[in-house]
Structure 1
Amino acid sequence: MKNLKKVAIFLGLIFLSLVAFYFIKQPSYSIKTEGTLYVVNKVSKSVVVFDLFEGKQIKELPIEIEPHEATTLTNPNRVIVTNYGTPAAGGKSITVINADTNTIEKTISIGESSSPHGIISLPQSNKVAVVTDIGNHLSIINVETGVLEKQISTQQELSHLLVHHPTKPIIYVANINSGSVSVIDVELDSVVKIISFKTKAEGIDITKDGSELWVTNIEENIISVINTETYKITNRIDTGKEPLRLKFSIDGNYCLVSNSGDGTISVYDSKTKKQVTNISIPGKKNIVEKVLYRTPRPVGILMHPNGLYAFVSNFTASRVEVIDMQNFTIVSSIKVGKMPDGLAFVN
């Protein structure tokens, strides 16, 4: 009996120690930098607004339909969120947030397509481009007027993410189920090329000079590098497990990849195509780390315009990790809502 009591006391002390350590290891924000971060939380159905200088949450805005991704517009400052919905009930709109007052300004219909996911701002003032998982359209929307100006079929399945060429009227769309990229001329309103891969394509970004398109193939665990003039694949770069997103640094010298299955962020030299380092997010080493930090699942990546920091949404841990772009280490974490995904920045 005495032995059982000793064991119970011992286990109780371990439990209390773990609980105490857990609270000590909660996300800690320790940097000061300009601007406001907007974090889209899927399960919470909300957008957390976080002051990056003061290091505190300003507001959490509820979104009626489950949101996924976000982008920003200026003059006036707005954050535009895709209302994705659920597999049972796909959304058919985007939400416009006034970033000066942090209030919801309006919602805009995306027409017949549903489950809008990827969104980017366009060079033309007050316009965004949105792609849909169901319907598979590229939609051009005037946020100021609330008008859906055009819809162009991607001609592929599960059109998920997109990027704009820096100097040409070309948008590249990554299509998961088709394992392809649709090259769309938004002046001609047509697909000019389909770039096909062996497996699913998801993460997508373009080099600063527009010469290369980098696309993650999430089943092969590689990055396909594509010449934007010839549309030929010039390199295949190994990644970690399930590379969901990638993003180039502000200076264009590096590319960060979120390996969702590994709980890591790989950093590559954009010129040599070689891996510079691999950043491990706490939560994978052992059962104690898993309990304290939760098993990490990095997804969205956003670069701070000053080039000093990168923000990575840690999907399963309800936090955003802050990476110092000078030494590629995690220097802070931000507690947010459940299942953070898309990220946006307003200066």
Structure 2
Amino acid sequence: MRHLYVCNTTCDSIDKINIESFTVENTIPLTGVNRGRIGPHGLWIHDKLLFTSNCYDDSISIVSLENGMVETLYLGSNCRDICVLGNHAYIICGDSNNIVSFDITRREIVELIPCGNSPHSIDCCSKNNEIVVANINSDSITLFDALYGSNIYSIDVGPYPTKAIITLDGNYILVCESNMGYGGRGSVSMISTKTRKVIHRVPVGSCPFDMCCDEKYCYVTNYGEGTISVIDIYNHEEIKRIRIGGMPRGILSDNKHIFVGDSYNNLLVKIDKNTENKKIIPINGEPTGMILG
């Protein structure tokens, strides 16, 4: 049985959601290293371990999915997001503008990799070993090969990029250009991983904030207008917009459904991809990062 794990940033916990019944099956409390607020913000699953990046506690938590044991480790200031590739976890530190490479087995920091200003998201692609980071305050993304951390590329993109992901085939990087503070619509740009140049740009809704993709489509939360944009990746166009309400932020999809967190109303929405029928359940507090496991 598959589950969806959701960060409750304001409640310092993770909700475990049964996808079939669409109910909260369990809530995992997190304990920080600084005896204060924790703020889990990003999630990743690797080898039956659930990793969270904790933006208030400057730490990561490692949760065993087998026995529920939780280990929390100090990493660096403002841990915004996390991904795992091979035996290393990569964590972005929003205040120091670094990516921390962390050896999971030895539980130690291996390397600090520089990126742009105020990194907000990180994603990795096992197909080509590349890692991409969206840097909000430098209007750029950072791209590097995980095997050769010194090969670092900075690519200019549109205003206030909040998310960057690599398509499943490894050929393109999709960047959520929020245009935050400028008014008007945001956009999603498509960058070739070979040429490292923007080759297409698709307008979406107001203040796009998060996104995910499958083999054909990209799903984008428009935080400023309560909608989701559905983009045909290879025809480079928005094909429809789905009304959610509230302030949709985190988003994830599987073969049948789209899962969206409404951070204003503290709700989790499940949308049927074919019918667009919706189911809604309450979440403990400000759903942000999500992962399927």
Q: Deviations over 1:48-92 (max 9, x none)?
A: xxxxxxxxxxxxxxxxxxxxxxxxxxxx2111110001xxxxx22
Distance 1:144 1:337 in 2: 36
- Structure with the bigger percentage of strand: 2
- TM-score, normalised to structure 1, is 0.67
Q: Deviations over 1:85-121 (max 9, x none)?
A: 1xxxxx2210111111111111001112611000112
Q: Deviations over 1:233-259 (max 9, x none)?
A: 532211000011001111111110001
The answer to whether the 8 Å contact 1:210/1:228 transfers is no
The answer to whether the 8 Å contact 1:77/1:346 transfers is no
The answer to whether the 8 Å contact 2:32/2:72 transfers is no
Count of residue pairs the alignment pairs up: 246
Give 1:140 deviation, angstroms: 1.3
Distance 2:157 2:238 in 1: 19
Distance 1:197 1:272 in 2: 20
Give 1:210 deviation, angstroms: 4.6
Among 111, 136, 141, the alignment partner of 1:218 is: 136
Among 154, 169, 176, the alignment partner of 1:251 is: 169
Larger radius of gyration: 1
3-state secondary structure, aligned to 2:211: strand
Q: How much is the aligned-residue C-alpha RMSD, in angstroms?
A: 1.7
- TM-score, normalised to structure 2, is 0.79
**Residue equivalent to 2:73:** 152
Letter in 2 for 1:243: P
Letter in 1 for 2:73: I
**Residue equivalent to 1:106:** 26
Q: 1:178 to 1:147 in 2, by over 3 A?
A: same
3-state secondary structure, aligned to 1:112: coil
Does structure 1 residue 138 correspond to structure 2 residue 60?
Answer: yes
Does structure 1 residue 335 correspond to structure 2 residue 243?
Answer: yes
Identity %: 24
Distance 2:250 2:161 in 1: 16
Distance 2:151 2:133 in 1: 10
Q: Deviations over 1:4-57 (max 9, x none)?
A: xxxxxxxxxxxxxxxxxxxxxxxxxxxxxxxxxxxxxxxxxxxxxxxxxxxxxx
**Residue equivalent to 1:6:** none
- Structure with the bigger percentage of helix: 1
Q: 1:208 to 1:269 in 2, by over 3 A?
A: farther
Does structure 1 residue 82 correspond to structure 2 residue 4?
Answer: no
**Residue equivalent to 1:272:** 195
Distance 2:198 2:89 in 1: 27
Distance 2:210 2:16 in 1: 20
The answer to whether the 8 Å contact 2:177/2:188 transfers is yes
Among 115, 119, 128, the alignment partner of 2:43 is: 119
Q: 1:144 to 1:96 in 2, by over 3 A?
A: farther
Distance 1:203 1:257 in 2: 10
Give 1:157 deviation, angstroms: 0.9
The answer to whether the 8 Å contact 2:42/2:52 transfers is yes
**Residue equivalent to 1:229:** 147
Distance 1:324 1:265 in 2: 11
Give 1:198 deviation, angstroms: 5.4
Give 1:195 deviation, angstroms: 1.3
The answer to whether the 8 Å contact 2:125/2:168 transfers is no
The answer to whether the 8 Å contact 1:224/1:236 transfers is yes
Give 1:278 deviation, angstroms: 0.7
Letter in 2 for 1:308: K
The answer to whether the 8 Å contact 2:32/2:59 transfers is no
**Residue equivalent to 1:4:** none
**Residue equivalent to 2:221:** 313
Give 1:330 deviation, angstroms: 0.6
Distance 1:197 1:103 in 2: 39
Q: Deviations over 1:182-219 (max 9, x none)?
A: 11111111111111245221222223435332222221
The answer to whether the 8 Å contact 2:128/2:170 transfers is no
Among 289, 297, 317, the alignment partner of 2:207 is: 297
The answer to whether the 8 Å contact 2:79/2:92 transfers is yes
Give 1:346 deviation, angstroms: 3.5
3-state secondary structure, aligned to 2:138: coil
**Residue equivalent to 2:271:** none
3-state secondary structure, aligned to 1:219: helix
The answer to whether the 8 Å contact 1:180/1:200 transfers is no
